[in-house]
């Protein structure tokens, strides 16, 4: 029952009984709740693919009766369940005369339902659906546009949900929603299939090999959009958004609301709107609409909407309108007020707001240089300590409180995800390791201090990123293996502003990079994170459609996503600004600066190396500090499958020069991140 409820609440109507018929009670519940089911016969001979000299049973007449017995048993048992709309005659069992016989028997027995079978290239005469498995977007588009093909295209498996995955899903649905003949697909799969096991007095999710079992498939059973305890992966939000039955668009001044349902009107829904300016709520209310019939749309000029008065009074640089649809009344599967759909669109801004250059103030900077240590700050407010030898910050205090303990250094590595590992020697991880990206250390080649006056200080450092030598120290490692040349400058102003300018030059022979950004270590007490960007849940460049832009606040612990097998996680996309604060509101502000685009942001108690080291979330060890990443570029997650490198080209990070700037500011309890952010802009 809980599975049915979760599926319905995500507006998922179809489900696949892969790869064998299910318990009768499941079908009864699907009948009751109006689910669409693909019932699949227990016929799979996957193992034969490893032995090409042996024929699959479907090609052997001696197996025909046994295969037919399984299909007949399924159809005769389940034929009276209204939920079943498709009979599947097996999975990954090659193709041959026996399957042709199975489809013939089913069609003669039950002409009211479709027959499915993917084997043999997904387009044989034994299937009524073109049903490719893990086909790419370009491939399904090509099939749908084939004038000789009249059957619908439905992916029987796609978007492999292994760990931090399901990137690129929006590209599938852009095609599905716009091209006739493309009707959707079935994500593989629903739930991580981990088992609880007690280890050293603590419970954990166990998988292949954790029980002393050999051979095993390790964590290949962990590929769902929900955890084993049925709590959601962040990717589930993306799936719900792309599947939502109410679509909202804004083009050429027209707000268009479309009811994608084929049978239901919007009579059971209540529509609401909320307007945000630079992340702050400007207004909200009920959106009065006439009932929208199935497969129909309602259009209105955006200036005539109830949000227009709030828009006219705003001077925000970015104004977003969010339209939601919620249940008016409780149903079998959800209470009244349950969110059915939510879409955010960008409205025009009333003013041209452009970044301005920070200028010196009359505030005097205190600058002290003792040997290799540079201290810059303002009495009783903040103090920054920089080490010329390492080229990094050794400490940053605000109101006498330690905020940053170490930083700011370039970073190009991430803890590998399951998708990063897929593909053997061609995988991203294999290529990264072959290029020694997992061993890069940064050597300070030069550091200079320029104190132009008592109101400005500039500290410049040049780093060489080299592969960490096995038995040599960085000082005698040489320069023959330089992978990155990075120039970083700190421009420190009397206003308290610190502008970090970064110029990155990677070796052009490197593979696509995991990330391009900076990292630093915050004190563990600075554990409250507030940001203006996408959220509130984890999101990445190729999986962020569902994550609306707003101002969110979470603790560092709450940001962590406990994937059963740790890896890169907890990121937030398109971050304009972020503050890291302690319980007293003292901390650090960071934002993009100048023409730099929004950042990918991450804050975690677990270092990148720790996330890479462990194989179970329960084994992660918290570090003494909080590791923060602010990325100018971050590679996508991928997810078309998990056994080949398939991040789409537009979400790769090529090894080319990059330049970006970040504004930092010492935050006190008297200031907010929003106020600091607004001070960065001027109106034309």
The pLDDT, as a whole number, for residue 479 is: 54
Beta-carbon contacts of 559 under 8 Å, excluding residues fewer than 6 positions away, are 529, 538, 570, 572, 602, 603, 604
294, two tokens? 């199935």
Structural tokens at position 412: 């190009």
- The DSSP symbol for 373 reads E
| pLDDT at residue 684 greater than cutoff 70 | no
Q: Considering just the CA atoms, what is the radius of gyration of the chain in Å? A: 28
Rounded to the nearest 10 degrees, the angle between the axes of helix 24-33 and helix 2-9 is 40
Average pLDDT for 275-299: 97
pLDDT band at 451 (very low <50, low <70, confident <90, very high): confident
Query: Distance between CA atoms of 225 and 237, rounded to whole angstroms?
Result: 9
Question: pLDDT band at 476, cuts 50/70/90?
Answer: very low
For the segment 565-579, what is each residue's pLDDT rounded down to a tens digit? 999 999 999 999 999
pLDDT exceeds cutoff 90 at 454: no
Q: Give dist(CA 623, CA 523) in Å, integer.
A: 10
Q: What are the DSSP calls for 116-170, one per residue?
A: E--TTTS-STT-SSB--BS--HHHHHHHHT-TT--S-EEEEEES---SS--TTHH
421 pLDDT higher than 50: yes
pLDDT of 161 over the 90 cut:
yes
What per-residue confidence (pLDDT) applies to 477?
Answer: 47
Read off the tokens for 46: 């996957």
Measured CA to CA, the distance from residue 577 to residue 124 in angstroms comes to 54
Q: What is the mean pLDDT of residues 136-143?
A: 98
Fold of 251-351: Immunoglobulin-like (2.60.40)
Question: Structure tokens of 77?
Answer: 């048992």
Rounded Cα–Cα distance for residues 52 and 8 (Å): 42
What would the mean pLDDT of 636-653 be, rounded to a whole number? 98
Please choose, from the candidates 234, 264, 240, the residue with its C-alpha nearest in 3D space to the C-alpha of residue 324. 240
Q: What stretches of 422-476 show up as alpha helix (H) in DSSP?
A: 428-434
Q: How many CB atoms lie within 10 A of CB 382?
A: 23
In this structure, which CATH number among 2.70.98.10, 1.10.8.60, 3.30.540.10, 3.40.710.10 belongs to the domain 366-683? 2.70.98.10
Is 519 a known active-site residue? no
Location of each CATH 3.20.20.80 domain in the chain: 2-191
Q: pTM for this structure?
A: 0.95
Strand partners, 662: 500, 592
The vertex-148 CA angle with 142 and 149, nearest 5°, equals: 65
Strands 246-251 and 254-259 turn out to be: antiparallel
Query: How far is residue 101's CA from residue 89's CA, in Å, rounded to a whole number?
Result: 10
DSSP string, 549-606: EEEEEEEHHHH----SS--S---EEEESEEEEE-TTS-EEEEEE-TTPPPEEEEEESS
Partners of residue 14 on adjacent β-strands: 36
CA distance 429 to 578: 30
End-to-end CA distance of the chain: 58
Residue closest to 410 by CA, chosen among 476, 477, 482: 482
The C-alpha atoms of residue 601 and residue 529 are separated, in whole angstroms, by 11
For 612-637, the pLDDT digits (tens) are 999 999 999 999 999 999 999 999 99
- Pairing mode of beta strands 153-158, 182-187: parallel
Contacts of 98 (CB under 8 A, 6+ apart): 57, 58, 59, 60, 61, 63, 64, 67, 68
Q: Which of 475, 679, 465 is nearest to 591 (CA)?
A: 679
| Model confidence at 471: pLDDT above 90 | no
Residues 6+ apart with CB under 8 A from 264: 245, 294
Length of the chain: 684
Distance between CA atoms of residues 82 and 60, nearest Å: 34
pLDDT of residue 294: 98
Active-site residue identified among 92, 238, 270, 568: 92
157 labelled catalytic: yes
Phi/psi for 371 (5° steps) reads 55, -120
pLDDT in tens, 522-533: 999 999 999 999
157, 456, 519, 610: the catalytic one is 157
Q: Is the pLDDT of residue 491 over 90?
A: yes
Q: What are phi and psi of 431, to 5 degrees?
A: -70, -35
Would you say residue 649 has pLDDT above 90? yes
Question: Sign of the CA dihedral 21, 27, 33, 39?
Answer: positive
Confidence band of 363 (pLDDT split at 50, 70, 90): confident
- Give the pLDDT mean for 359-379: 87
| CATH 2.70.98.10 domain residues, the chain | 366-683
Q: CA quadruple 458, 461, 462, 467: dihedral positive or negative?
A: negative
Strands 528-535 and 577-581: antiparallel
2-191 adopts what CATH topology? Answer: TIM Barrel (3.20.20)
Sequence-distant (≥ 6) Cβ neighbours of residue 213 within 8 angstroms: none
The 297-301 sheet, strands edge to edge: 246-251, 254-259, 297-301
pLDDT in tens, 510-569: 999 999 999 999 999 999 999 999 999 999 999 999 999 999 999 999 999 999 999 999
Q: How high is the pLDDT of residue 453? A: 77
CA distances in angstroms from 659 to 533, 632, 636, listed in the order given: 21, 9, 20
Question: How far is it, in rounded angstroms, from Cα 109 to Cα 538?
Answer: 48
């Amino acid at each position: 029952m809980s599975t049915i409820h979760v599926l319905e609440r995500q507006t998922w109507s179809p489900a696949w009984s892969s790869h064998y018929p299910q318990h009768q009670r499941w079908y009864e519940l699907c009948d009751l709740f109006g689910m669409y089911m693909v019932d699949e016969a227990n016929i799979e001979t996957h193992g034969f693919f490893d032995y090409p000299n042996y024929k699959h049973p479907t090609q052997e007449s001696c197996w025909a009766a046994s295969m037919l017995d399984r299909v007949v048993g399924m159809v005769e048992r389940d034929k009276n369940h209204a939920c079943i709309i498709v009979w599947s005659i097996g999975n990954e069992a090659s193709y041959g005369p026996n399957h042709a016989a199975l489809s013939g028997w089913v069609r003669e027995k039950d002409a009211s339902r479709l027959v499915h079978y993917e084997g043999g290239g997904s387009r044989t005469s034994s299937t009524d659906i073109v049903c490719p498995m893990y086909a790419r977007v370009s491939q399904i588009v090509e099939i749908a546009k084939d004038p000789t093909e009249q059957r619908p295209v439905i992916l029987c498996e796609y978007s492999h949900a292994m760990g931090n995955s399901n990137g690129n899903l929006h590209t599938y649905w852009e095609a599905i929603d716009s091209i006739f003949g493309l009707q959707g697909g079935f994500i593989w799969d629903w739930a991580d299939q981990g088992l609880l096991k007690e280890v050293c007095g603590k419970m954990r999710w166990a998988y292949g090999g954790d029980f002393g079992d050999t051979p095993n498939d390790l964590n290949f059973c962990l590929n769902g959009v929900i955890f084993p305890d049925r709590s959601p992966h962040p990717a589930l939000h993306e799936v719900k958004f792309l599947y939502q039955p109410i679509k909202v668009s804004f083009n050429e001044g027209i707000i268009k609301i479309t009811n994608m349902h084929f049978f239901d009107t919007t009579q059971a829904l209540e529509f609401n709107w909320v307007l945000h300016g630079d992340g702050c709520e400007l207004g909200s209310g009920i959106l009065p609409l006439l009932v929208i019939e199935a497969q129909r749309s309602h259009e209105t000029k955006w200036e005539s909407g109830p949000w227009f008065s709030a828009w006219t009074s705003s001077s925000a640089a970015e104004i977003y309108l969010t339209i939601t649809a919620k249940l008016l009344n409780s149903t079998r599967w959800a209470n009244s007020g349950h969110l059915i759909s939510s879409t955010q669109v960008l409205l025009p801004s009333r003013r041209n707001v452009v970044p301005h250059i920070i200028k010196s103030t009359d505030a005097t900077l205190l600058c002290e240089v003792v040997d290799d240590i540079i201290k810059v700050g303002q009495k009783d407010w903040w103090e920054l300590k920089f080490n010329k030898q390492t080229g990094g910050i050794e400490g940053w205090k605000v109101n006498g409180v330690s905020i940053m303990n170490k930083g700011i250094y370039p970073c190009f590595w991430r803890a590998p995800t399951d998708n990063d590992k897929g593909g053997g020697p061609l995988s991203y991880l294999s290529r990264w390791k072959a290029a020694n990206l997992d061993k890069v250390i940064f050597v300070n080649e030069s550091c200079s201090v320029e104190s132009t006056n008592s109101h400005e200080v500039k500290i410049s450092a040049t780093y060489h990123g080299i592969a960490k030598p096995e038995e040599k120290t960085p000082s005698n490692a040489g320069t023959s293996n330089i992978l990155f040349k990075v120039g970083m400058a700190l421009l420190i102003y009397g206003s308290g502003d610190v502008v970090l300018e970064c110029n990155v030059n990677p070796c052009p022979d490197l593979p696509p990079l995991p990330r391009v950004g900076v990292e630093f270590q915050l004190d563990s007490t600075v554990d409250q994170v507030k940001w203006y960007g996408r959220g509130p849940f984890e999101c990445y460049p190729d999986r962020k459609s569902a994550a609306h832009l707003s101002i969110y606040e979470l603790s560092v612990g709450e940001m962590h996503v406990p994937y059963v097998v740790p890896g890169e996680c907890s990121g937030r996309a398109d971050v304009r600004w972020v503050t890291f604060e302690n319980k007293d509101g003292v901390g650090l502000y960071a934002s993009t600066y100048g023409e730099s685009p929004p950042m990918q942001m991450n804050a975690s108690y677990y270092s990148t190396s720790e996330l890479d080291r462990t194989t179970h979330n329960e084994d992660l060890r918290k570090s003494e500090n909080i590791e923060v990443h602010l990325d100018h570029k971050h590679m996508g997650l991928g997810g078309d499958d998990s056994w080949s490198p398939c991040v789409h080209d537009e979400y790769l990070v090529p090894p080319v020069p990059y330049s970006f700037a970040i504004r930092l500011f010492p935050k006190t309890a008297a200031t907010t991140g929003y106020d600091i952010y607004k001070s960065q802009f001027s109106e034309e």
